[in-house]
Amino acid sequence: MAFITREYFKLLDKNKLIEHGDWINLERMSRQAGMKNGNGVSSQTFRNAVVKGLTTTDEVVTLVEAYFAPKFDTVKAKRLAIKELRRKLQSA
């Protein structure tokens, strides 16, 4: 059994990375991965695991982390680009 920490949810929420369609996308991904004998994991289960921090399976946590990792990378890249732009503007 595994769970997603409150800090992880706060990071997602603070950076506004959670969208309504994410839960459905995760449900589809779980079906494609053949989780729960090919039936997939419900979108409500993903939402409860992330938002409420309920205990879930290791596979759900792995799928959630894989799904949100590119979003975190995008935010990080945007922040670095903004810092670089500010630095260039200050030196000009």
Residue 1, domain member (yes or no): no
Q: How many domains does the chain have?
A: 1
Q: Where does the pLDDT of residue 44 fall: very low under 50, low under 70, confident under 90, or very high at 90 and above? A: very high
Residue 57, domain member (yes or no): yes
Query: Whole-angstrom Cα distance, residue 58 to residue 9?
Result: 17
pLDDT in tens, 60-87: 999 999 999 999 999 999 999 999 999 9
Q: Where does the pLDDT of residue 91 fall: very low under 50, low under 70, confident under 90, or very high at 90 and above? A: confident
Average pLDDT along the chain: 92
Helix, strand, coil percentages (3-state) for the chain, rounded to 5, are 70, 0, 25
Mean pLDDT of all residues in 33-56: 91
Mean pLDDT of all residues in 33-45: 90
Residue 77, domain member (yes or no): yes
Residue 19 has pLDDT above 90, yes or no: yes
Token match 């500010």: residue? 86
Measure Cα distances from 58 to 2, 54, 62 in Å.
Answer: 5, 12, 6
> Where in the sequence is the domain holding 85, given as residue range(s)?
6-91
Residue 79, domain member (yes or no): yes
> Cβ distance 64 to 50 under 8 Å?
yes
